[in-house]
C-alpha cells in the first residue's frame, strides 16, 4: 500500500465495532510471531489521567537515556501520534510498511476462516511490531477501554502496572458501579508484578487490593497527603513530595496545569521509584528533568492569550469536577466563555451540572466526523435548564469566532469535552494568532 491507500484502509477498519476480549488479538499476534513477548511493559489503566501519566513516565525514562516506546489513544492532531518512540511519532513510511504487513496478515486470517480483528487490535499489534523492531528498552502502554478484556492486556511481560484515577465512564462496557469498573481496570495486574495506584474511592481500592492479593502482586499507593509546598501559576506548578520509599523530593516542577496533574505526577514518581528498585537507572536529575519537560496537549493547555484560551479534555464527571476546581483556583472574578462539544454516550448532564455555573456564556459545537457526537443543538437544549446564555455554533471554526467576539482581552475562553474536536480547535486558534 502507499500512504493514501494506508489511510483509506485505516478509515475502513475503523468503521467496524469495538469488541472486548483477547481471543482475536492472541490469534493475530500468533500469525505475527508474538512480538509482544520480546518487550518489557509499563501498563497503564484508569478512567482519567492515563495519557498524562504515560507522558510523565516515558519522558522521565527518556531523560534517563532509555529508548522508550509509547502507545496511546485517542490522539489530538493526527493518527501517527498513537505510535511514538522517545516522543517522536512513527514516520509515514514506517506506518505504511507496518500497516501493509498487518493488512496482509488479516487477509491470511480471513482465508483461514478466522474472524477479522478490530481496528484497535490491528493497531495494538502494529505497535508491538514497531517497538520490537526498533529495539525499545521499555514500552509504556495505555489501555484503550477498561483493562481486563482490553486488547493491550494480551501482554505477559509486565514490569509495572499503573492504575490512575477510576471514575464512572464507559458504563455500557465496564459496569454501572465504581467497583465493577475498578474490577475491569485491575485486570492488567499480572502475577508477581509491581503495581502503583493513585488514591481511589474505597470501592475501587478494594478491587485493586483484592486483585493484587490474587496475583501475589506488590502494591504501592501515590498519596496526595504527602505532597507539600504546592505553588501554581499559569505557566507551571511546583511541589515537594515524600515517596513511599521515604525519598523526599523538594521543589519539583511541571509545566502541565490543573490540580489533577500533580496527582498524575506523583503517580509517575512512585512508578519511577519502583523501577529504580528493579534496577532501572533513573537519577534524581533525570526525574526532575523529565517532569519539567513533559508536555501533554489538550489537558488544561493554554493555547492563546489576550484573551486567555484554554483547551481541556474533560469528558466525564470526574474530569468535569477537576476542571471546575481548577477554574475556581485560577479564574475567580474572571469573565469566562465556554465552548463545549460532548459525545452523546457520555454523562453529559453531569458534565454540565459540574461546570455551567462558572461561565458567563456557553457555545455548543458538534464534534466533527464522529458518529457518537451529540449535535450542538441537542447539547444546547440540555444546557438551557441550567444556563440561559447558550449559543449553537455550526462548526468548530464558528465556535472559535463567536468566542472571540464574546470575550475581551481580560476574559478566559475554555474549550472542553471530547478530545475528538480539540485538535481541530487548537489548530484554528494557533493559526489565528499568526
> Which tens digits make up the pLDDT trace of 239-277?
999 998 888 999 999 999 988 899 999 999 999 999 999
Give residue for cell 495505555: 142
* pLDDT value at residue 173: 66
Cβ atoms of 100 and 6 closer than 8 Å: yes
* pLDDT value at residue 384: 96
Pairing of strands 301-304, 308-312: antiparallel
What is the per-residue pLDDT across 331-342, written as a single tens digit (0 to 9) for each?
Answer: 988 999 999 999
d(C-alpha 268, C-alpha 64), whole Å: 14
| Residue limits of CATH 3.90.190.20 in the chain | 301-433
Pairing of strands 412-417, 336-341: parallel
Query: What are residue 361's DSSP bridge partners?
Result: 337
pLDDT at 172 > cutoff 80: no
Query: What are residue 337's DSSP bridge partners?
Result: 361, 413
CA distance readout (Å), 185 to 54, 74, 121, 144, 148: 16, 18, 18, 11, 6
Strands (E), 184-319: 194-198, 218-222, 227-232, 237-242, 248-254, 301-304, 308-312
User: Cis (ω within 30 of 0) for the bond into 265?
Assistant: no
What confidence tier does 11 reach under pLDDT thresholds 50, 70, 90?
A: confident
Helix, strand or coil, per DSSP, at residue 216: coil
Strands (E), 270-379: 301-304, 308-312, 336-341, 361-364
* pLDDT value at residue 87: 94
What is the per-residue pLDDT across 290-327, written as a single tens digit (0 to 9) for each?
Answer: 999 999 888 899 999 999 999 998 888 989 999 999 99
pLDDT at 77 > cutoff 90: no
* pLDDT value at residue 382: 95
What is the arithmetic mean of pLDDT over 146-171?
A: 90
d(C-alpha 402, C-alpha 391), whole Å: 9
User: Cis (ω within 30 of 0) for the bond into 74?
Assistant: yes
* pLDDT value at residue 219: 97
pLDDT at 358 > cutoff 80: yes
Count of residues in the chain: 434
d(C-alpha 53, C-alpha 254), whole Å: 12
d(C-alpha 328, C-alpha 215), whole Å: 42
* pLDDT value at residue 183: 94
* pLDDT value at residue 209: 97
Domain 301-433, CATH class in plain words: alpha beta
Q: What is the largest CA-CA distance in the chain?
A: 65
* pLDDT value at residue 244: 84
Instruction: Estimate the crossing angle of helix 92-111 against helix 3-13, to 10 degrees.
Output: 50
Percent of the chain whose predicted confidence (pLDDT) is above 70? 98
* pLDDT value at residue 170: 61
d(C-alpha 272, C-alpha 284), whole Å: 10
What confidence tier does 21 reach under pLDDT thresholds 50, 70, 90?
A: confident
Please tell me the CATH code under which domain 3-293 is placed: 3.40.1190.10
The CA radius of gyration of the chain, in Å to the nearest whole number, is 21
pLDDT at 43 > cutoff 90: yes
| Residue limits of CATH 3.40.1190.10 in the chain | 3-293
Q: Is 405 exposed, middle or buried (0-12, 13-18, 19+ CB in 10 A)?
A: exposed
Please give the mean pLDDT across all residues of the chain.
93
* pLDDT value at residue 427: 93
What is the per-residue pLDDT across 120-156, written as a single tens digit (0 to 9) for each?
Answer: 999 999 999 999 999 999 999 999 988 999 999 999 9
What is the arithmetic mean of pLDDT over 60-77?
A: 94
Cα of 154 vs its chain's centroid, Å: 20
18 vs 363, higher pLDDT: 363
Percent of the chain whose predicted confidence (pLDDT) is above 90? 80
d(C-alpha 118, C-alpha 23), whole Å: 11
What is the arithmetic mean of pLDDT over 75-92?
A: 94
Residue 195, Cβ neighbours under 10 Å: how many?
Answer: 26
98 vs 146, higher pLDDT: 98
Amino acid at each position: 500500500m502507499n500512504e493514501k491507500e494506508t489511510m483509506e484502509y485505516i478509515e475502513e477498519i475503523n468503521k467496524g465495532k469495538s469488541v472486548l476480549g483477547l481471543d482475536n488479538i492472541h490469534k493475530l499476534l500468533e500469525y505475527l510471531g508474538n512480538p509482544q513477548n520480546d518487550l518489557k511493559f509499563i501498563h497503564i489503566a484508569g478512567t482519567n489521567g492515563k495519557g498524562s501519566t504515560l507522558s510523565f513516565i516515558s519522558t522521565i525514562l527518556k531523560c534517563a537515556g532509555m529508548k522508550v516506546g509509547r502507545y496511546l489513544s485517542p490522539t489530538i492532531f493526527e493518527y501517527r501520534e498513537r505510535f511514538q518512540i522517545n516522543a517522536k511519532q512513527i514516520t509515514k513510511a514506517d506506518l505504511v510498511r507496518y500497516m501493509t504487513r498487518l493488512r496482509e496478515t488479516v487477509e491470511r486470517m480471513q482465508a483461514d476462516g478466522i474472524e477479522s480483528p478490530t481496528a484497535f487490535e490491528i493497531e495494538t499489534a502494529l505497535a508491538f511490531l514497531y517497538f520490537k523492531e526498533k529495539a525499545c528498552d521499555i514500552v509504556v502502554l495505555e489501555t484503550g477501554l477498561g483493562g481486563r478484556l482490553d486488547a493491550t492486556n494480551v501482554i505477559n511481560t509486565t514490569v509495572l502496572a499503573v492504575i490512575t484515577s477510576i471514575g464512572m465512564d464507559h458504563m455500557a462496557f465496564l459496569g454501572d458501579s465504581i467497583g465493577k469498573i475498578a474490577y475491569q481496570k485491575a485486570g492488567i495486574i499480572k502475577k508477581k508484578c509491581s503495581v502503583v495506584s493513585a488514591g481511589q474511592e474505597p470501592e475501587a481500592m478494594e478491587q485493586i487490593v483484592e486483585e493484587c492479593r490474587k496475583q501475589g502482586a506488590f502494591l504501592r499507593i501515590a498519596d496526595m497527603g504527602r505532597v507539600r509546598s504546592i505553588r501554581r501559576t499559569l505557566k507551571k506548578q511546583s511541589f515537594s513530595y515524600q515517596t513511599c520509599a521515604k525519598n523526599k523530593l523538594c521543589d519539583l516542577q511541571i509545566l502541565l496545569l490543573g490540580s489533577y496533574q500533580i496527582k498524575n505526577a506523583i503517580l509517575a514518581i512512585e512508578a519511577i521509584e519502583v523501577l529504580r528498585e528493579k534496577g532501572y537507572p533513573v537519577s534524581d536529575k533525570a526525574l526532575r528533568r523529565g517532569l519539567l519537560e513533559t508536555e501533554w496537549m489538550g489537558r488544561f493547555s493554554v493555547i492563546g492569550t489576550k484573551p486567555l484560551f484554554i483547551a481541556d479534555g474533560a469528558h466525564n464527571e470526574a474530569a468535569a469536577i477537576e476542571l471546575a476546581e481548577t477554574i475556581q483556583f485560577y479564574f475567580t472574578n474572571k469573565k469566562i466563555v465556554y465552548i463545549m462539544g460532548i459525545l452523546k454516550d457520555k454523562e453529559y448532564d453531569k458534565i454540565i451540572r459540574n461546570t455551567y455555573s462558572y461561565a458567563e456564556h456557553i457555545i455548543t459545537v458538534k464534534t466533527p466526523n464522529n458518529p457518537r457526537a451529540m449535535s450542538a443543538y441537542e447539547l444546547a437544549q440540555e444546557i438551557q435548564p441550567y444556563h440561559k446564555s447558550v449559543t449553537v455554533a455550526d462548526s468548530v471554526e464558528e465556535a472559535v469566532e463567536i468566542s472571540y467576539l464574546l470575550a475581551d482581552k481580560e476574559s478566559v475562553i475554555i474549550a472542553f469535552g471530547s478530545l475528538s474536536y480539540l485538535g481541530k480547535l487548537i489548530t484554528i486558534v494557533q493559526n489565528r494568532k499568526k
